[in-house]
Amino acid sequence: MLVFEFKAYGKSAQLAAIDDAIRTAKFIRNSCIRLWMDVKSTGKNDLQKYCAVLAANFPFANELNSMARQASAERAWSSISRFYDNCKTSTERSRSKGTLGLKGYPQFQKDCRSVEYKTSGWKLADNRKSITFTDKKGIGKLKLKGTRDLHFYQINQIKRVRLVKRADGVYVQFCIDVERSENIEPTGNTVGLDVGLKVYYTDSDGTMVENPKFLRIGEKVLKRSQRRVSKRLKGSKNRGKARQILGKRHLKISRQRKDHAVKLARCVVQSNDLIAYEDLRIKNMVKNHCLAKSINDASWYQFRVWVEYFGKVFKRVTVAVNPQYSSVVCSSCGEVVKKTLSTRTHVCRCGCVMDRDENAARNILSRGLGTVGHIGTSTLDVGNACGDETSTLVGENLHKQVMS
């Protein structure tokens, strides 16, 4: 599934209609959650049928396209199904706290920023430069501006169309049913990655990538924008304008992080046949409030997601390994060398002297090579992913790692 995004342009009345459609989608989702809370035996089909009841009782809900109402009900069911999954995996101790104490209990949505249409309720122009929404909300024709070319795909391949509201305007997203796959020549290289805060990551070859620290750089502007919001009267138009400016500042930082993660992940995947990285629990790490801002600014999880995505696109092997003790174990002889966080150089009795993060990256690579071929949640089979030729190359690199 590919998602192409375009900036949408329309008149003020059309933008107001988009806001109305988003509010209606939020109302339908919350109503479905309310129904499930009242009737615990409610299933996915019951929520779909309830959309027709809402449309009959509320005229503003009837104005929204029927498939858009169904998509909102599917969002409600998605949160419910996640809750059921958490119930299955939760411990008996968490269950004893009661239903409301369980993690992921469906909540009413307060701030909704998108509405989703399926295969009806919209019509794409022949030149693919505008889209018309045909339901009773009155959105009408919106001009599209973007770098993607929709001429490569048929209309029946577009399964979803989303209207997304952001701080700098409205965007239209097209969800296209197509599998992206690219074939490139094997490189014979393997790499282990150790992420950090001082540098973005250090690989097993000793290469260090600088941490851009987008939030730290833009923090001064963010604080100034936040002060302007605080000084404005609540509910006033000036406060709304100040909030929009603040939102644009945050949006810029978010886009910078994504752009950096995408480009870096693509480069890493294209340059190596196997990429081993740390299986970090980011949610637990950000509980340390002293490092939470720096960890979020580094966006390790986003980088990992794009590494795994490009691994599937380019048929590369991506392995998430346990990072425990990777910094204290010597990558040369395997001896445990205890060190504090302030000690940045690894020195072992065997004569191995290198940067602490490079030593950890080599251990991560060794563990990744050791898990290749086993079935796991974050592991791909070498033969299936890269072919027999790449399997031989990975085996040769494994031999080199063991002999070094």
* pLDDT tens-place string over residues 124-179: 999 999 999 999 999 999 999 999 989 999 999 999 999 999 999 999 999 999 98
Per DSSP, which regions of 146-263 are E strands? 158-166, 169-176, 190-195, 199-203, 208-210
Host H or E run for residue 215: helix 214-231
Q: CA 312 to CA 386: how far, in whole Å?
A: 10
pLDDT score for 8: 96
CB atoms inside a 10 Å sphere around CB 190: 26
**pLDDT at position 259:** 96
| Angstrom distance (rounded) from CA 329 to CA 350 | 12
Angle at 133 between CA 132 and CA 134, to 5 degrees: 110
pTM (two decimals): 0.83
How many C-beta atoms surround the C-beta of residue 342 within 10 A? 5
Contacts of 134 (CB under 8 A, 6+ apart): 65, 121, 122, 123
pLDDT at residue 400 in the model: 41
- Structural element, H or E, at residue 124: strand 122-124
pLDDT of residue 228: 96
Amino acid at 391: S
pLDDT value of position 334: 86
Structure-block tokens of residue 158: 């577009």
What pLDDT is stored for residue 340 in this prediction? Answer: 84
Q: Return the pLDDT at 379.
A: 36
141: left (phi over 0), alpha (psi -120 to 50) or beta: beta
For residue 63, which of 30, 119, 33, 25 has the smallest C-alpha distance?
25
pLDDT of residue 63: 95
Distance CA 319, CA 262 (A): 18
**Amino acid occupying residue 257:** R
CA distance 109 to 100: 17
What are 1-49's pLDDT values in tens digits?
A: 899 999 999 999 999 999 999 999 999 999 999 999 998 888 999 999 9
- pLDDT given for residue 73 in this prediction: 95
Those residues of the chain that have pLDDT short of 70 are: 90-102, 373-404
